[in-house]
Amino acid sequence: MPGWGRTAGAVLFLVAWAWPILDPGAGVEPVSRAVLAGVWGLFAVDCGVRLARAGDRRRFVAGHVLDLAVVVFPLLRQFQVLRLVGLGLVVGRRAAADLRGRVAVQLVGGAALLELVGALAVLDAERGAAGARIVDLGDALWWAASTMSTVGYGDVYPVTGAGRAVGVVVMFGGLGVLGLVTALLASWLVEVVLDRREAAADGEDGDR
């Protein structure tokens, strides 16, 4: 399966997974389950074919741990949406000519995807639970944003084990995003300082 096919499958998976979460009364659960199972099946066949064709299978396994984990453990199928990050990489390469611009575009896209997936996952886990504090998409998005930013106001929080597991993933993802933002800003500041020093040195040479 070509790369665009796997990305399209990830988009289809995200839509089929999110629809019954966003509109639980629509009665689309059977269709959603069928689509999810179909996408997972195609994904499993694709991984099997690529593994069979790989010259160095150990290297293939080491480089595709998440792909194989999704195949072996169907409960991890939601992580297939991470393939959308690949689409963000393409957009980033086309949206900015310099490396820093590409990283910024990819960072924004990855953070938005993480917040959306985290919000949907925690809403799916918490809806209908006794004492749930996250009961609609607005609550879920607010929780995901505050958790990713490490602010954690505590006004809404997951009460189920599954919801807390989602919280752990979102927390670590948020730390990664903040680390990348810090590195990006530091790189920009260093470049500004170096440019000013070079400009000052050129000015002094010109005065001489």
What is the rounded average pLDDT for all residues in the chain? 79
| pLDDT (mean) for 124-128 | 89
Q: How far is CA 129 from CA 109, 126, 132, 151, 182, in A?
A: 31, 5, 5, 25, 37
Q: pLDDT value at position 185?
A: 78
Cβ(38)–Cβ(15) under 8 Å? no
Of 69 and 171, the structure prediction assigns the larger pLDDT to 171
- The conformational region for residue 154 under phi > 0 = left, psi -120 to 50 = alpha, else beta, is left
- Comparing 93-102, 135-144, 148-157, which segment has the lowest mean pLDDT? 93-102
Answer yes or no: are the C-beta atoms of 122 and 145 closer than 8 Å. no
Predicted pLDDT at 208: 59
The domains located in the chain, with CATH, are 1-82 (no CATH), 96-208 (1.10.287.70)
- Say yes or no to pLDDT of 92 above 70: no
How confident is the model over 27-49, as a mean pLDDT? 86
